[in-house]
Amino acid sequence: MKTVVALVTGGFTGEYVISLRTANTIEEHLDPERFEVYRIVIESHSWHYIDKFTGQKHEINRNNFTLQIKNQTIGFNIVFMALHGSPGEDGKLQGYFDMLNIPYTTCDATTSAITMNKGYTKAIVADIPQLHVARSKQLFSNTPENSALLQASLQLPYFVKPNNGGSSVGMSKVKTAAELPDALEKAFKEDNQVLVEEFIKGREFTIGVYKTRYGIQTLPTTEVITSKEFFDFEAKYTPGITKEITPGNLNEEELERVQQIATAVYEKLNCKGITRIDFILSEKDNEFYFIEINTVPGQTTHSFIPQQVRAAGMSLGDFYTQLIQTALADV
User: CA 208, CA 210: separation in Å to the nearest integer?
Assistant: 7
pLDDT for residue 228? 56
**Mean pLDDT, residues 44-68 taken together:** 95
**Predicted pLDDT at 242:** 81
Judged against a pLDDT cut of 80, whether residue 236 lies above it is answered with no
State pTM to two decimals. Answer: 0.91
Indicate the residue type of 200: I
E strand or H helix at 276: strand 275-282
Mean pLDDT of 201-223: 96
Of 295, 317, 272, 267, the C-alpha closest to 129 is: 267
* Mean pLDDT on 160-166: 80
CB atoms within 10 A of CB 55: 7
Q: What is the per-residue pLDDT for 44?
A: 94
Q: CB under 8 Å to 57, separation ≥6 — which residues?
A: 48, 49, 50, 51
What are the tens digits of pLDDT across the range 312-331? 999 999 999 999 999 999 86
Decide if pLDDT at 80 tops 60: yes
Q: Do residues 323 and 313 make contact, with C-beta atoms less than 8 angstroms apart?
A: no
Share of the chain above pLDDT 70, in %: 94
Confidence at 109, pLDDT banded by 50, 70, 90 = very high
Do residues 231 and 204 make contact, with C-beta atoms less than 8 angstroms apart? yes
Domains of the chain with bracketed CATH: 3-105 (3.40.50.20), 114-132+200-329 (3.30.470.20), 135-198 (3.30.1490.20)
Neighbour order of strands in the sheet with 275-282: 131-133, 288-294, 275-282, 202-212, 215-226, 242-245
**CA nearest to 289, candidates 214, 200, 221, 218:** 200
Candidate from 35-44, 93-102, 177-186, 315-324 with smallest mean pLDDT? 177-186
User: Which pLDDT band, with edges at 50, 70 and 90, does 142 fall under?
Assistant: confident
Instruction: Report pLDDT for 229.
Output: 60
pLDDT at 237 exceeding the cut of 60: no
- pLDDT at position 304, please? 96
**Cα separation, 159 vs 234, whole angstroms:** 17
Res 170: pLDDT: 84
DSSP state of 137: E
List all residues 6 or more positions away from 230 whose beta carbon is below 8 Å from its beta carbon. 159, 168, 171, 173
